[in-house]
Amino acid sequence: MEIIENPKRLFKYASSDIAKIILRTSSIKFSPPNDFNDPFDCDIDLVDFHFPSDQQLDKEVAYEIEVLKKQFKNWPGFSEKSKDKSFWETGYKESQIGKIKSCGISCFSLVNNSVLMWSHYAEKHFGICLEFDNTISPRFENLSDATDISEGIVGYTEYERINYMSTERKYAIFKIFLSKSGSWSHENEYRMILLNDKPQIQKFKPQFLKAIYFGLRTSDREQNEIISMCTTLGFVDIGFFKCTKSDLSIRFSKITV
């Protein structure tokens, strides 16, 4: 699978109320996939767990099965059950599905000027768009970027079944968490996947927040309240911008504070 360098800027569209919660708590929510709009997104039912030929067994799967063998070798009847491939398929499936379901996902966009995204996720242009600096590390107070987060750009393709036991792990994770129907391509989505059964709400470093963009319909009162809130909460060196119409597209003008 092609390795793509992480983008430097990430954007999160939100209503004003949700944005205020993000700012007050300096935190981002990693949601379970079953909360998503698309029932086929991260669909476990599209993942098979079948033994391929030994030559095709993913090396990480092979290692994890060896670990399971050592853990259960003293169980009554283990030596007989372990001869049956379906025993390992079922056991491995249960262990991995548990891990997959425990993951949380936070969704971002690579663009801040999508009229559709402003309409759907930023309260019909009454909301805001948050810009995050994806170059800093660590980005979160209690997470390791190396071990607690997997992330990447969403690929837009047709949903397809995969065999988790014969697929290279990076590609399997991509197909489960980072693939969506082409119908969603306007989102230009980027995802962070929270691993290791960590809490859904995670505090981010203050320097992670880079800028705030106010929608075409965001009121002056709401705008001033959020700017004041950022100052009070200690978000320094962030930019504030206001959406303006430019023919049939969106532009941004800098707000002098």
Using CA atoms, how far apart are residues 174 and 246, in angstroms rounded to an integer?
A: 37
Structure token pair of residue 109: 């966009």
Identity of the highest mean pLDDT range in 5-14, 88-97, 127-136:
127-136
Minimal CA–CA distance to 40: which of 172, 152, 176, 190? 176
What's the pTM? 0.87
At residue 54, the pLDDT reads: 60
Between 49 and 141, the higher pLDDT residue: 141
- C-alpha to C-alpha distance for 180 and 191, rounded to whole angstroms: 12
Asked whether residue 15 falls in the same domain as residue 141, the answer is yes
Chain-wide mean pLDDT for the chain?
89
Q: At what angle do helices 85-101 and 59-72 cross, to 10 degrees?
A: 110
| pLDDT tens figures, 148-203 | 998 999 999 887 888 888 777 778 888 889 988 888 999 999 999 998 889 999 99
Pick from 84, 101, 118: which residue ends a domain?
Answer: 101
Same domain for 223 and 178, yes or no, is yes
Q: What is the pLDDT of residues 142-163, one digit of tens each?
A: 999 988 998 999 999 887 888 8
130 within domain boundaries: yes
Amino acid at 146: A
Between 193 and 60, name the one with better pLDDT.
193
Place of tokens 């059964």: 197
> Both 15 and 76 in a single domain?
no
- Same domain assignment for residues 114 and 80: no
Answer with the one of 83, 101, 119 that is the final residue of a domain.
Answer: 101
Domain that holds residue 189: 9-38+104-160+167-254
Residue 83 inside a domain? The answer is yes
Task: Identify whether residues 233 and 190 lie together within a single domain.
Answer: yes
Whether residue 2 is contained in a domain is answered as: no
41: which residues sit within 8 A by CB, 6+ positions away?
33, 180
Domain boundary among 101, 122, 144: 101
On whether both 123 and 237 belong to a single domain, the answer is yes
Percent of the chain with pLDDT over 70: 97
Residues 244 and 126 in one domain: yes
Tally of domains within the chain: 2
Q: Token pair for residue 209? A: 């927040």
Q: Bin 146: left if φ > 0, else alpha if -120 < ψ < 50, else beta.
A: alpha
Indicate whether 18 and 74 sit together in one domain.
Answer: no
CA 158 to CA 70: how far, in whole Å?
Answer: 39
- 24 and 134 both lie in a single domain: yes
